[in-house]
Structures are given as structure tokens and as C-alpha cells.
Chain A
């Protein structure tokens, strides 16, 4: 993992199964070319093979941070990392020879609002492989089935793979988005409030799914819902006004926080 040019190139990079997979070091980030910093001096290590939750009130920067991890913020013209760096599997992701497209194949993302393409279920899952130039039907078929099975959707949709994805329920659509993401076989799956548009039953199914996916992927999840953080995550980071207040094991954050702000937030006194 020392030669930077090869690290993010091969899809078959062996992800570390233990230790740190994402290393955020003194990161400051701005949406307006450095006039004001949305994130200030964030340092945290995200462990491999675990679920890490980002919590905090609206506008605290948790979504901004998660979008830094797969360089989704590149889409904003005036976005800029003003200090610090992010290393994923040992590689600085802002290094000049890192291609954001390659990075995103390794760091997948599931969005807040489920956003399947208005195509068939099959085509949605195959999309990530198709843009990589994979055309062989047998490979696609296999990847689609595998991903749908992993995302616990296969039994529900196997008879209608060629119907529109928009005919599915909200929860199913979000699981389809997860299937679409894992079909590319990333090492890390980022989830930006994946359940905020879903009802409690659909939410429960996604949470079960997260527990299962944890075996194969490192998961980073942003959530508004503190109970959800306690249910799904191993580690929790609490953000407030663009700063990392506290980062610890989930049990410690909710059971025995060391900072007053964290305690106030998790006990519902503000936010």
C-alpha cells in the first residue's frame, strides 16, 4: 500500500480488514473558496470493517464531511479543502494523480433521497458495471443477482428485473440503490441519511441490511436519528458547527460522553 500510483487503480485492492481505512487529518473544508470554513480541523480515523456513524444537528457539517470522502464535493465549483488531508487505504485522495472516478469505484455512496434511474431494476444495478465498460451478459447477470441478494431484494424482485425501478416502494428503491452501489464492489460504502425518507418498517429493514453489509464493507453513515446510531454503529462521531466534538465507541458516546455538548445533544436537550 505504499506505491501511490497503484493503490486506487485495481478494483481488486484488498481492503484492510482491521485497523484504519480512512484517515482524516486536520481537515478544513470550505464551500466558498476559503472565505468561511464549513468544516474546521477535523481529525478522525475510521476503522475498517466497522460501522461508523456521524451525528449532529442540521448544518453541523456531517454530510459535508461524508461527501468529502468520495470527493462528491468536487461537483461544487467553489468547494475547496483549505487544510489537512484525507487518506483512504493509505493514499491521499487529493493527490494530483488520484482520479476521482477511480476513487468513487472504491468508495460508494447511498444518498438521502433514494434516486434510482428511471430504468429497469436490472439496468439500475448493472449501471456501475456498464460505465466501466463491462458488456458481457453473464458477468452482469451474476453481479446483479449477487448484489440484489446481498441487499435483501432478490426474492422480492427476481421475477420483475426488467420492470421499472420506479414501481418499487420507497424502502425497496433505497435497497435497490444500495444494491447498485455494492455491485461495483467498493471497499467503503458511504450512506448519507439513508433512512430519512423512509417509514419505520422500511428503516428497520435497511438497518438489518447495514448489519449484514458490515461483514463485507466498511460503512460510514450519517444520521439524524440517534437511536439509529446506537442500533447500527460501532463508532460514533458527534459534530457541532463544523467541528468534531467527540469521537468514541458508540456505547461511550451515548452512555458516558466525556463532553458536556455531546451529553446535551444525545440526551435531547438541544438539536
Chain B
């Protein structure tokens, strides 16, 4: 008689059943992720990649979105042309009869504007979010006395992370776009001062601080995104700071370093990998948000890039660039999504989504790479 044989069958069955449930849940999730990725990749990759020449469809990445014109000259032979090309083509071929002319908004050209806009929004946001976030987390973790107040502040920050992004969007719109007390540096060349609070006459114009007005701008969008991503950045930075061994702080202070010297030389350098990883994950989140920028920064249609429209020199030019509205990838996709879906538009839509997905994947991959790189380099 085997003394180790199972006494009851039910326990064993329950055991097996639980494994199956956990496994099914896991693989279902994996299947969803893989499914989404393959759907987008299979539909979108052909738009981005070409089978000949440079293998990448550079026009898609380097042209601004345009209206696509589809027409026929002879029965059944479709010709696709961007609006500007079509206008010129018509000038050159005045006699040709155009049949079945159809236009598709935003479908022609490429996605340069949205790409650039998203990049600029992300950079603006991360600069602000990192400076504020790292400072705040250093204060919370290194300086502030532990107590009720600090717990309340932490709770408030954590709650901020749970606020829906559209609320951030409206908040940013109210704070950065509607109220006119946020000053912006404006430079008017050879003109009378208009409505600036202060106007400093310079050789060929006036430097003044004017309200941002109700227009959407890079600055407003970047700040709104920064406010949204701050809780995530602060939480991650605090974790990274906590992971720095107490021994480093003690050794540094015991050698006669001031608190700030200690933080600067014995804490922050060793927290940098974590902060970097967190900020890149923050970038992926910020890059994908639509709601915060749809009121504050993004426009559906814009012929020129922000720096092409900006005026002035030096700092004023930079200030003016920051005051421009931009196109942005997620908002572009949102705009697409509301258009009637046809064979023509679908291709560009899929391509845009695919590029977007690639962009986010690259950022996520970069954060993984950095984490491994620093983990190998900085060990204690």
C-alpha cells in the first residue's frame, strides 16, 4: 500500500483548476496585446516601409498632412495626389478632363507636423516635470520632517495621479489659456505697444509681457501635461531616492559634507538611473495623451511648423515658438477617427497609428535598456 497516495481527489482537482484559471487569464491578456500589435503592424507597416529604394517611405515622415485628392482621367484608373500637387497638375494640364474627383481631409502628405508637435510637447513637458518633480521628491524624501502634513501632501499627490486626463485638460485650459495673468514674453517689431502690461522699448521694437490669451500653445500644452505626469514622476523619484543606501548619506555627512553637498554628490548620482527610467516611462504616457492637449495645445490643421511661424530674434523667437499651437500625433489620430472611413483614409490612419505605436515602443525599449545599462554600471 502506497502511503503517499492522495487521500481525496477534490483537493487535487481544485489545485489543477486554479492553475488553469490563472494561466488562461494570463494568456488571454498576452493574446490581446499581441493581437492589437499585429493588427496595427500588418495594416500600418506597408505605409511606413517601402519594398524598394530606401525601404522607408520618407515622404510619410517628412511631409505635412494635406488633403488627398483622388480622381480619374480615364474610366477605372484612379490617380491619388496631394492637394498642392493636384492644383499644380491642373495648371499644367488644363485640357484634361477630371472624373470622379474626391477629396479626403488630412489623408494626403505625411505626418511631419504631428510628429514634431508631439516631440516638442514632450520635451517641454519633461523639462518642466523633471525640474519640479525631482525638486519636490528631494524635498519630500530628504528634507521634510516626517509627520501628518507630509503624509497629507503625499496623499494629495497620489490622488492627483488618479484624476482623469480630461480634467487636467480643462484645468490647463482654464489656467494657462483663459486666464490672462500668465505673462508671456512678446516682442513687437516697430509697432506701438498694444496691450502689454509692461513694454520695454528696444532699438527696433517693444518687449512686453502679454497674457497668453485663449489660444492654444505649446507652452500651455506642455505645462498641462507636466502637471498631469508630475505625480508619477514624483512617486518614481522618491522610490529611486529611497533605494540609495543610507550608508552613502551617512558617510558623506560624516565627512563634513553639507546636506546639499550630500544630496548632490552622494544621493542624486545614484538615484539618476531610476529617475531616468521613470521619466522615460513618463514620456510614453505623455506622448500618448489626447485629452490634456486638445484644449490647450493641439490643432487639427496647421500648414507650418511652429518655428516657421515664430517671429522675433533669440529669446523672443523662442518665446514665440512656445506660443504657437501645434499638431500632435494622438490628436491627429483622434481627428482621423472622426472622419468617414474609406479605403483611402484607412491606409494613412493605420500608418499613423503604426508610427505612433513604434514611437512609444522605442521609448519603452529605451527605458528598459537604460535600466539594464545602469544596473550593470552602478552596483553596490
Contact = CB atoms under 8 A, between A and B. Distances in A.
Interface of A: 70, 72, 75, 77, 101-102, 104-105, 108-109, 111, 113, 115-118, 127-128, 130-132, 166, 177, 180-181, 184
A131 B256 contact: yes
Contacts of A118: 270, 378-380
Interface in B134-182: 145-146
29 contacts: A72-B250, A77-B145, A101-B256, A104-B254, A104-B255, A105-B255, A105-B256, A109-B250, A111-B247, A111-B250, A111-B254, A113-B247, A115-B247, A115-B248, A115-B251, A116-B251, A117-B266, A118-B380, A127-B265, A128-B257, A130-B265, A131-B255, A131-B257, A131-B261, A166-B379, A166-B380, A180-B251, A180-B255, A181-B254
Contact of B250 (A75, A105, A127, A130): A75
Interface in B250-283: 250-258, 261, 265-266, 270
B380 A77 contact: no
B364 to A, nearest CB: 27
Contacts of A102: 256
A198 to B, nearest CB: 15
Nearest to B253: A104
Given A75-B250, A77-B146, A132 B256 contact: yes
Contact of B252 (A105, A127, A177): A127
B201 interface: no
**B245, B247, B253, B255 interface centre (most CB from chain A within 10 Å):** B255
Given A77-B146, A131-B261, A117 B256 contact: no
A109 B252 contact: no
Contacts of A111: 247, 250-251, 254
Interface of B is mostly: helix
A259 B121 CA distance: 74
Contacts of B247: 111, 113, 115
Query: Chain B, interface size: which category?
Result: 20 to 34
A184 B254 CA distance: 10
A118 B253 CA distance: 16
A131 B257 CA distance: 6
Given A77-B146, A104-B254, A111-B247, 10 more contacts: A101-B258, A109-B254, A115-B245, A115-B250, A115-B251, A118-B380, A127-B257, A130-B265, A131-B258, A184-B256
Contacts of A113: 247
A75 B255 contact: no
Interface in B208-245: 245
A70 B256 CA distance: 10
A125 to B, nearest CB: 10
Closest 3 CB pairs of A and B: A115-B247, A128-B255, A105-B256
A127 B253 CA distance: 11
Contacts of A128: 255-257
Contacts of B265: 127, 130-131
A253 to B, nearest CB: 28
A88 B266 CA distance: 28
A107 B261 CA distance: 18
Contacts of A77: 145-146
B30 to A, nearest CB: 38
A184 B255 contact: yes
Given A77-B146, A131-B265, A181 B255 contact: yes
Nearest to B380: A118
Contacts of A109: 250, 254
A130 B333 CA distance: 54
